[in-house]
Amino acid sequence: MQQLTPSDNMIITKHTIGDEALPLLVVDNFIAEPEVLIQEAGFRDFSQNSPYYPGHRAEAPLAYQQCLLACLTPTLVDFFQLPSEILSLSVCHYSVVTTAPTQLKLLQRIPHFDSLNKHGLAAVHYLFHGEQGGTSFYRHRKTGFESIDESRKTAYFSSLENENDGPNMPKMKDGYINGDTPLFTCIEQQRGIYNRIVVYRRNTLHSGAIPSDFKPPLNLLDGRLTISSFIDCI
């Protein structure tokens, strides 16, 4: 694949969200030619390789991974106060949501976190047009937690376990979470805008903001195509 270059029109916006003032980086107009990434996705082998992600994934191009780190590392280190100036990608793949709302497992119907380490980052790069959903961030009502670390893990999971059989636990008919529920409050929602990247700490409670009328795409490239990355300190 050809070398990728960042856009001259890139806009970087720094946010803090929720009561915990969690950092959220939004990068608009990231890649100069994002359509190249979509074309490349057409040559990739998508598979269902995660028990949690409700769709199909394929490895993203090395050229993309190199561009992401070269372009954003100084900003990420500074904004997220990372302990190292050398970053790597432990995960970087194309992702397309393909699971019908009524087919979701319970853990796919509530917000989640990816890691207990606040220095691990996640990035989502939206590569679709139209309103196919962005990313939402949540507060757990009972504990008040917006992020989960080692000190909160036991209390958080105990609370979820106690709520598991209660009347407020989401039912299969409820589909994807997209906004406030009896168990969670939405503290921020970023729209899925073409060629936008959002970056956040992996221990933040979050979920894809999938529309209530979502239908699995007949063609993967017509669906909610993103590139999802895990960024780690070395």
What does each of the 234 residues of the chain score in pLDDT, given as a tens digit? 778 999 999 999 999 999 999 999 999 999 999 999 999 999 999 987 777 899 999 999 999 999 999 999 999 999 999 999 999 999 999 999 999 999 998 889 999 999 999 999 999 999 999 999 999 999 999 999 999 999 999 999 999 999 987 888 887 678 899 999 999 999 999 999 999 999 999 999 999 999 988 999 999 999 999 999 999 999
| Burial (CB count <10 Å: 0-12, 13-18, 19+), residue 160 | middle
- Map out the domains of the chain with their CATH numbers: 23-165+173-233 (2.60.120)
pLDDT confidence of residue 121: 98
Distances 206 to 48, 88, 201 between C-alpha atoms, Å: 21, 22, 10
pLDDT confidence of residue 106: 86
Listed in order, strand segments (DSSP E) in 33-178 are 55-59, 87-97, 121-126, 135-140
pTM score: 0.95
Q: How far apart (Å, rounded) are the C-alpha atoms in residues 143 and 147?
A: 11
pLDDT confidence of residue 48: 75
pLDDT confidence of residue 179: 94
pLDDT confidence of residue 114: 96
pLDDT confidence of residue 143: 98
Do 46 and 56 contact (CB within 8 A), yes or no? yes
